[in-house]
Amino acid sequence: MGRPGEREALRAVRAEDAPPLGLVAAQLAFADQPHLTTIAVAFAGPIRDPVRNKWVVQFGMIACVLVIPLAAICGPLRGIPLFWMPVDMSFGVIGIVPLILAYRHIRVLEASSEPA
């Protein structure tokens, strides 16, 4: 039933003295396929008609900005270690980069499609 030492490793993950590893496992479980797929489907609109659906990109940028205060406020409430919070905040910082680039391209498309 498993490799030697597997049970001890599982006990260590579940132990009270190893919360950061437990948090990583929980974050990986919640950031798995269903959530990412749902978010990705929302961005199908801007791919098909970017000018009409630019609000989706704007919404994504707002969500990325809100990740930072959310991690700063809820991190200590959930007992996330201080050194782990910048990692959580980096998802918002990194995620906004492609959205800003996409928004710039949408604005160029919007300007070129307007009648002169």
Residue 21 has pLDDT above 90, yes or no: no
Q: What is the DSSP string of 12-50?
A: HHHSTT-HHHHHHHHHHHHTSHHHHHHHHHHTHHHHH-T
What is the value of pTM for the model shown? Answer: 0.67
Using an 8 Å Cβ cutoff, are 87 and 55 in contact? Answer: no
- Percentage, residues of the chain above pLDDT 70: 68
Domains of the chain, by residue range, sit at 1-30, 41-113
What does the pLDDT average to over 15-21? 52
**pLDDT tens sequence across 33-59:** 566 677 788 888 899 999 999 999 999
